[in-house]
Homo-oligomer: A and B are copies of this chain.
Amino acid sequence: MTDDPQAPGEFGFIARHFAPLAGPEGLGLGDDAALFRPSAGMETVISADMMVEAVHFFPDDPPDLIARKLLRCNLSDLAAMGAVPRGYLLAIAKPDRLHDAWFSEFARGLATDQATFGLTLFGGDTTRSTGPLVLSLTILGDVPAGAALRRSGARPGDSVWASGTIGDAALGLLARQGKLPDPDGMLRDRYLLPHPRMGLGLAVRDIAHAAMDISDGLVQDAGHLARASNVRITIDADCVPSSAAARAAGGDWLETRLTGGDDYELLLTCPADRTDALLAAASASGTALTRIGAVEPGQGVVVLDQAGRGISFARPGWQHF
């Protein structure tokens, strides 16, 4: 590593685009590794997410939004555990066809969201790809020792809640593909730039029984939570919050909304006697929170229509392969 932005190859590339993003833990991106210390009494929450060109984003998506989506997908995992973000490592497999102008925009997106979410770059790796651009981000956050929200804490009698609105990003992907009208671009924006619920995760950490982020489709993700907690989750389809833009897209999209990916909302369960505290916490964090179902003894996920009849879907959510 060098701090000369004019240096050839990867060293100048890192100096130009990434050294300005590094925090003190990154040691100037000039050592073999980063040094990280959790704050006193805290433990470290760590998650990794990889995004592949033409799989997770379109080659002509704006580079700054690709960067911010990558960071925000990982931030959403921290939110789900009730953690405060600290920093991240970023590995990039870079095709030769992508040049400085692209990565300058990409780094600008990272800088924007570093400021928004209060974290810095700790380190990473840059290398060459013979195929698509591949981005791999590992995020680190702090949570008081033993206090992390888990998927395994749901208990029969809990209510089930979802933040924000569900399905906009899946509809936004269809809009991005020209398969759905999206006059004001609101759905597409939700696909391009998720809004991780950091404040909500923190606010409900000592109230919710279980939490996870909804990233691969509500029904599939609820299934993961049900399984981890060894319970059954029933969801009232009509209660699942939808945006005005999603409603304008019509009722035929129910399956897309409930099984589509990229929401990055939070799914929570809450004991009956803590409902008021949950709603107060959500309100204090400025996040809409909607009751969408209940936790029961049993297994799996059941989605009910207005008449209380089960609805079945062709697939419960996004499969990465």
Task: Show the binding face of A for B, using Cβ within 8 Å.
Answer: 1-2, 8-10, 13, 27, 30-38, 43-56, 76-78, 80-81, 83, 89-94, 96, 122-132, 134, 136, 138-141, 143, 145, 148, 150-152, 212-213, 224, 227-228, 319-321
- Whether the pair B124, A48 counts as a contact (CB closer than 8 A) is yes
Query: Bound complex: CA of A48 vs CA of B36, how far in Å?
Result: 14
21 contacts between A and B (CB under 8 A): A10-B320, A31-B152, A31-B228, A32-B80, A32-B212, A34-B47, A35-B81, A36-B46, A47-B123, A48-B90, A48-B123, A50-B92, A50-B93, A50-B136, A51-B127, A52-B93, A52-B128, A55-B93, A91-B91, A131-B132, A134-B136
Query: Bound complex: CA of A77 vs CA of B78, how far in Å?
Result: 26
- With both chains docked as a complex, state the minimum distance between the C-beta of A162 and any C-beta of chain B, in angstroms: 15
Query: Bound complex: CA of A127 vs CA of B145, how far in Å?
Result: 31
A122 CB contacts on chain B under 8 angstroms: 46
- Whether the pair A227, B46 counts as a contact (CB closer than 8 A) is no
A27 CB contacts on chain B under 8 angstroms: 150
Query: Bound complex: CA of A159 vs CA of B42, how far in Å?
Result: 41
Q: A10-B319, A320-B10, A321-B13 are in contact. Are A127 and B55 (CB under 8 A)?
A: yes
Closest-by-CB residue of B relative to A4 is: B227
- With both chains docked as a complex, state the minimum distance between the C-beta of A265 and any C-beta of chain B, in angstroms: 13
This chain: copies in complex:
2
A83 CB contacts on chain B under 8 angstroms: 33
- With both chains docked as a complex, state the minimum distance between the C-beta of A22 and any C-beta of chain B, in angstroms: 13
A141 CB contacts on chain B under 8 angstroms: 33
- With both chains docked as a complex, state the minimum distance between the C-beta of A99 and any C-beta of chain B, in angstroms: 11
Closest-by-CB residue of B relative to A223 is: B2
- Whether the pair A94, B321 counts as a contact (CB closer than 8 A) is yes
Query: Bound complex: CA of A1 vs CA of B81, how far in Å?
Result: 16
Closest-by-CB residue of B relative to A212 is: B32
A91 CB contacts on chain B under 8 angstroms: 48-50, 91, 136, 138
18 additional A-B residue pairs with CB within 8 Å, beyond A31-B212, A47-B89: A8-B319, A9-B320, A9-B321, A30-B152, A31-B150, A32-B77, A32-B80, A32-B213, A35-B43, A36-B44, A38-B38, A48-B138, A52-B93, A52-B127, A53-B130, A127-B320, A129-B134, A130-B131
- Whether the pair B2, A123 counts as a contact (CB closer than 8 A) is no
- Whether the pair B45, A33 counts as a contact (CB closer than 8 A) is yes
Q: A50-B93, A91-B49, A138-B48 are in contact. Are A35 and B127 (CB under 8 A)?
A: no
- With both chains docked as a complex, state the minimum distance between the C-beta of A313 and any C-beta of chain B, in angstroms: 15
A37 CB contacts on chain B under 8 angstroms: 38, 43-44, 145
Query: Bound complex: CA of A141 vs CA of B35, how far in Å?
Result: 10
| Cross-chain contact of A130 among B31, B46, B54 (Cβ < 8 A) | B54
A140 CB contacts on chain B under 8 angstroms: 46
- Whether the pair A78, B33 counts as a contact (CB closer than 8 A) is yes
Query: Bound complex: CA of A91 vs CA of B224, how far in Å?
Result: 20
Closest-by-CB residue of B relative to A27 is: B150
| Cross-chain contact of A127 among B1, B38, B228, B321 (Cβ < 8 A) | B321
